[in-house]
Amino acid sequence: MSFDDLHKASQQQLTTAVDEICKEFEVTPQKLDELTAHFIEQMQMGLSNTDESAENKGLPMIPSFVTGSPNGTEKGMLFAADLGGTNFRVCSVTLSGDHTYKMEQMKSKIPDELLEDENVSSEDLFSYLARRTAAFIKKNHPEVTETKDIVKLGFTFSYPVLQTSLNAGTLIRWTKGFNIPDTVGKDVVQLYQEQLAKQGLGNLKVVALTNDTVGTYLSHCYTSQNTDSMTTGEISEPIIGCIFGTGTNGCYMEELDKVTKLPKEFRDKLAAQGKTHMVINTEWGSFDNELKVLPTTKYDVYIDQKLSANPGFHLFEKRVSGMFLGELLRNILIDLHSRGLIFNQYRTNEQLPHRLQTPFELDSEVLSHIEIDDSTGLRETELSLLQTLRLPTSPTERKEIQKIVRAISRRSAYLAAVPIAAITIKTGVLSKRYHGEVEVGCDGSVVEYYPGFRSMLRHALALSPLGSEGERKVHLRLAKDGSGVGAALCALVA
């Protein structure tokens, strides 16, 4: 065989291997059917389950204690704090009462040691949050320290919390980077409130605890100008709030009668006050942790078991959210290299560029550049991989990498359609009033910035049991600032 023939044969081997991998990432319409049916079943199970240790407990389906939706006329100045990823944000939100708001904020990057050091305690974390809150108050609202009056704050805490009232909830487990074992099982509002008092901010009262999806839902209701049902105060159909970013999750309005995990007396009490619905935080990141229907490749298994901080949990999130898209690509590339199919200038895995060997070093932003690269010889991809990973590539390698990237993002977007289809079907919203349309408020870097994500999601909705007619009635709207505005709205009603 000539050198050329050898070269072609090895290129062909790479292409064949990549095609096989891409095939494993396909989500067929039949799979969408199975996933949607299972999702509905898991929602129903989760709404009634009260036993956390039950073998099949369904989705977490956490009652948020939010029983109404804003209609855009709310007014007031409130504080909000937001912990949800690698940043902590403190804001003051002024709701103007005409669907608009003004916001002042201070964003701080969580110090690496709080994310990585094994010996970090809850106190270290919450004391940091309280110090940053104090810094914001001192700079932007010193009047708060000069009064003894209660000042309300809404706290968006975007991790799974077992909420016991509007302003209390214990952490079930950390996701998205944090790993501070002694916080699990503790009331995060109490932890924060104690540290605020130590900063001389005892009058800043954490009156509401909310998840970012619930915040997104509320902020969407507040800013949206075309939700007639909101202005009449009737909530006869749910709309969904969801996040596709570093993590993924969603919430929706459920009929109180169906939330049977809440004690009957409590539901009756709410009913007597005229409350008919409650926002449920599904924590869909944990959908199908039993792996009954989720598509699973060996890369998913490896990332979950060997590289993630919460093996066995949040398996849906690990196939969908931004935190894992780059990690999937990185693991596939390392696998192809160890099979002698790519980057052959490096003889062993250990010789590969350090950044390619480092878990979670490959950001989903890199994938978004590769996804839409149509430059000759995929030059953009070449530069992006060089800049971020110090990884030189050949044109053939780049072509194959692009195929893998597109398979990963497509699977993510197709899976992302499942909860939306399932909630829409379960609640029967399309056959109810308001022209049978459903509004979905979305936030998060993936849904906002990943090229083609929303159209792939829509495509999957049309292939799902919703069908193309149903898909046309589902409106995905970007709802910004949920964690700030949503928490403020929650604090307002508290």
Kindly list the catalytic residues.
158, 173, 212
Q: How far is the CB of 293 from ligand BGC (least distance, A)?
A: 20
Q: Which is nearer to ligand BGC, 58 or 285 (CB)?
A: 285
Q: How far is the CB of 175 from ligand BGC (least distance, A)?
A: 3
* Binding piece for ligand BGC, criterion CB under 6 A, among 34-42, 207-215, 339-347, 354-362: 207-215
Q: Which of 35, 48, 37, 71 has its CA nearest to residue 280?
A: 48
- In whole angstroms, give the CA distance from residue 363 to residue 368: 9
- Other C-beta atoms lying within 10 Å of the C-beta of residue 345: 8
- In whole angstroms, give the CA distance from residue 296 to residue 292: 10
3-state secondary structure of 478: strand
* Binding piece for ligand BGC, criterion CB under 6 A, among 110-118, 244-252, 453-461, 467-475: 244-252
What is the identity of the amino acid at 364? S
283 binds ligand BGC (CB under 6 A): yes
Q: How far is the CB of 423 from ligand BGC (least distance, A)?
A: 15
User: For ligand BGC, how many residues bind (rule: CB under 6 A)?
Assistant: 17
* Binding piece for ligand BGC, criterion CB under 6 A, among 140-148, 245-253, 338-346, 396-404: 245-253
Site for ligand BGC in 247-266 (CB under 6 A): 247-249
Beta bridge partners of 439: 475
Which of 317, 327, 397, 481: binder of ligand BGC (CB under 6 A)?
Answer: 317
Q: How far is the CB of 253 from ligand BGC (least distance, A)?
A: 17
243 binds ligand BGC (CB under 6 A): yes
481 binds ligand BGC (CB under 6 A): no
- In whole angstroms, give the CA distance from residue 237 to residue 388: 46
H/E segment holding residue 175: none
Q: How far is the CB of 278 from ligand BGC (least distance, A)?
A: 17
411 binds ligand BGC (CB under 6 A): no
213 binds ligand BGC (CB under 6 A): yes
Spell out, one character per residue from 146 to 185, where the chain touches ligand BGC: x when CB under 6 A holds, - when not: ------------xxx--------------xx---------
Q: How far is the CB of 248 from ligand BGC (least distance, A)?
A: 6
What is the identity of the amino acid at 10? S
Q: How far is the CB of 361 from ligand BGC (least distance, A)?
A: 20
Q: What is the DSSP string of 349-374?
A: GGGS-HHHHSTT-S-HHHHHHHHT--
Long-range contacts formed by 453-458: CB under 8 A, 24+ apart: 453/244, 453/409, 453/412, 453/413, 453/416, 454/413, 456/409, 456/410, 456/413, 456/414, 457/413, 457/414, 457/416, 457/417, 457/420, 458/417
* Binding piece for ligand BGC, criterion CB under 6 A, among 107-115, 139-147, 241-249, 302-310: 241-249
Q: Where are the beta strands (DSSP E) in 116-203?
A: 151-157, 161-165, 168-171
In Å, the largest CA–CA distance within the chain is 86
Contact indicator for 173, 313 with CB cutoff of 8 Å: yes
Interhelix angle 395-427/453-463, nearest 10 degrees:
50
What is the identity of the amino acid at 159? Y
Q: Which is nearer to ligand BGC, 230 or 315 (CB)?
A: 315
3-state secondary structure of 467: helix
Q: Which residue is nearest to ligand BGC (CB)?
A: 247
What is the identity of the amino acid at 181? P
211 binds ligand BGC (CB under 6 A): yes
216 binds ligand BGC (CB under 6 A): no
Q: Which is nearer to ligand BGC, 58 or 470 (CB)?
A: 58
Residue 226, C-beta contacts closer than 8 angstroms, at least 6 positions apart: none
Q: Site residues (CB under 6 A) for ligand BGC?
A: 84, 158-160, 175-176, 211-213, 243, 245, 247-249, 283, 285, 317
